[in-house]
Amino acid sequence: MTIPYPNTQPMPAIASVTPPSGSSRPRVTFLGTGYLGATYAICYAELGYDVLGFDVDADKITKLNAGEVPIHEPGLDELLKRNLAAGRLRFSTDIAETAEHGDVHFICVGTPQRADGMGADLSYVEASVTSLAQHLTRKALIVGKSTVPVGTAEWVEQLVGKHSPADLGVEVAWSPEFLQEGFAVDDVLRPNRIVVGVKSEWANGMLYAAHKGVFDLAATEDREVPLVVTDFATAELVKVAANAFLATKISFINAMAEVCEASGGDVTQLARAIGYDPRIGNRFLQAGLGFGGACLPKDIRAFQARAQELGAGEALRFLHEVDLINLRRRTRVLHLAAELLGRRAGPAGPDLSGTRIAVLGATFKPNTDDVRDAPALAVAALLHKAGADVHVYDPQGVENARRAVPELTYEAGISEAVAGADLVCVLTEWADFRNADPSVLGDLVAGRRVVDARNCLDSALWTQAGWEYRGLGRP
Ligand SMILES: NC(=O)c1ccc[n+]([C@@H]2O[C@H](COP(=O)([O-])OP(=O)(O)OC[C@H]3O[C@@H](n4cnc5c(N)ncnc54)[C@H](O)[C@@H]3O)[C@@H](O)[C@H]2O)c1
């Protein structure tokens, strides 16, 4: 039966929905135990669900079963150990065991940018859904959580119909995910909304039961978690629309930074002043090196590619500009570095040979070890390509950064990175860097020059300590 949409009211009575396994609450699985799936599996065990995490990466599964979180995410280690010990959580590379375990299967595999264009690579979604569907032996609900182009849920439904026995009546739903790395545990346990795209009351009821732990926790804390029940297409679009909005807000203030650079204005004061207007708000309004990571850049590109396919490309043409503004911030740091070091840019860009540069930060933001499409690492690579001897330190990202860009020199601490440097570039706003003492660092460097690419340092303090200071979008 079709239920009315949109429906932002609490779910209607759901008591009649009994999990097909016969257990009192749905048994849940998470296919793909990366940043999204591992966090979910662990947090849902914490909420009391009987959870199985599945991945094709055997190393990851071995680590998780041994109580080792393969990513850096504050708070997750302790929850993993506690829930493994409680027997509510296990991890497997066996798809038949996964199919047998779950009433609700969440698809959390990657959807990276395709190698041959801007669209999303759906091969991992296809592989995981197909193998799961082939192994199902009773009715179940398959729920997509990965970020996908609109239309994917309908296609997944067809895949499931093709690969699972028709008499089982396996159903599909979509529930996009909004967690932020660095805050992921709280975002999963205490989401600011839950969005579900469903086609039947049964799917609606099962999804409610699979989220009931979140609603119950909210009730004990006197909070409410808004629920938006909608159709497949809207659920898929909510996620990419939200990311497009956030990316646009960041690029808007970075565009203002460019105008400030040309006119002598100060974008940090400008942002503060416009942010007081509650219609604008001050969040996501910090000018700096721009956005990166495994989501925003590839999501706005895939959104444009999909809109183009649907004949709505014009509507999202501005996202191309959002992307370009974002990428221009990276070359701006290269040119600022050259300026501070007294190097002029030729037709092939600046020549920084013979200089030593300390890069503080490699991850795309603080409190994560994720370096995927990290602006910091991209700038470090640009500086290296321009001939500089680049020494990088990051509190959590060094291991991943070394794998991604092995040609840079990685250091074990801030002091080691800045020792003998002609220039220090702060490229990720880790608290360790924000709170570093400029006088102490000043004694270690060869030249007191700093590029604050995140506008996160106290410029007056650094200037007083004798540093030549340059922020982005500031005089
Ligand atoms: N990372 C985030 O903050 C975040 C937030 C919201 C949404 N998302 C979306 O969630 C999805 C996953 O992102 P992520 O950052 O966790 O990616 P990830 O690369 O960290 O994890 C993906 C995992 O899927 C596994 N995998 C690949 N093929 C598989 C298969 N056939 N069966 C089972 N597992 C398989 C990989 O081994 C990997 O462990 C993406 O669509 C992303 O856009 C991510």
Instruction: Please report the pLDDT score of residue 17 as a whole number.
Output: 87
The answer, yes or no, to whether any atom of ligand 1 lies below 6 A from the CB of 126, is: no
Question: Over the stretch 360-399, which tens digit does the pLDDT of each residue have?
Answer: 999 999 999 999 999 999 999 999 999 999 999 999 999 9
Query: Confidence class of residue 346 from pLDDT cuts 50, 70 and 90?
Result: confident
Equal CATH topology for 28-230 and 329-471? yes
Are the CB atoms for 451 and 470 separated by under 8 Å? yes
The answer, yes or no, to whether any atom of ligand 1 lies below 6 A from the CB of 393, is: no
Question: Over the stretch 97-132, which tens digit does the pLDDT of each residue have?
Answer: 999 999 999 999 999 999 999 999 999 999 999 999
Question: Over the stretch 412-470, which tens digit does the pLDDT of each residue have?
Answer: 999 999 999 999 999 999 999 999 999 999 999 999 999 999 999 999 999 999 999 99
Is 295 among the residues known to form the active site? yes
Instruction: Please report the pLDDT score of residue 1 as a whole number.
Output: 36
CATH architecture of residue range(s) 241-325: Orthogonal Bundle (1.10)
Are the CB atoms for 294 and 369 separated by under 8 Å? no
Question: Over the stretch 12-48, which tens digit does the pLDDT of each residue have?
Answer: 555 468 999 999 999 999 999 999 999 999 999 999 9
Per domain, the residue ranges of the chain are: 28-230, 241-325, 329-471
Question: Over the stretch 317-331, which tens digit does the pLDDT of each residue have?
Answer: 999 999 999 999 999
Question: Over the stretch 81-90, which tens digit does the pLDDT of each residue have?
Answer: 999 999 999 9
Instruction: Please report the pLDDT score of residue 6 as a whole number.
Output: 44
Residue 277 Cα to ligand 1 midpoint, Å, equals 37
Phi, psi of 314 (to 5 degrees): -55, -40
The answer, yes or no, to whether any atom of ligand 1 lies below 6 A from the CB of 53, is: no
Within a 10 A sphere around the Cβ of 331, how many other Cβ atoms? 14
Residue 223 Cα to ligand 1 midpoint, Å, equals 29
Task: Give Dmax over CA atoms of the chain in angstroms.
Answer: 75
Atom of ligand 1 nearest to the CA of 295: 43
Are the CB atoms for 233 and 151 separated by under 8 Å? yes
The answer, yes or no, to whether any atom of ligand 1 lies below 6 A from the CB of 56, is: yes
Phi, psi of 90 (to 5 degrees): -150, 165
* DSSP codes, 376-420: HHHHHHHHHHTT-EEEEE-TTTHHHHHHH-TTSEE-SSHHHHHTT
* Nearest protein Cα to ligand 1, atom 20: 34
Residue 107 Cα to ligand 1 midpoint, Å, equals 9
What amino acid is encoded at 110 in this protein? Answer: G
Nearest residue to 244 (alpha-carbon basis) of 308, 187, 317: 317
The answer, yes or no, to whether any atom of ligand 1 lies below 6 A from the CB of 92, is: no
Distance CA 11, CA 95 (A): 32
Would you say residue 3 has pLDDT above 80? no
The residues facing 450 across adjacent strands are 424, 469
Residue 71 Cα to ligand 1 midpoint, Å, equals 12
Please tell me the CATH superfamily of domain 28-230, with its number. Answer: NAD(P)-binding Rossmann-like Domain (3.40.50.720)
Residue 125 Cα to ligand 1 midpoint, Å, equals 9
Instruction: Please report the pLDDT score of residue 170 as a whole number.
Output: 98
Q: Options 3.90.550.40, 3.30.360.10, 3.40.190.10, 3.40.50.720; which CATH number does 329-471 get?
A: 3.40.50.720
Question: What is the gyration radius of the CA atoms in the chain, in angstroms?
Answer: 24
pLDDT > 90: percent of the chain: 95
* Nearest protein Cα to ligand 1, atom 30: 128
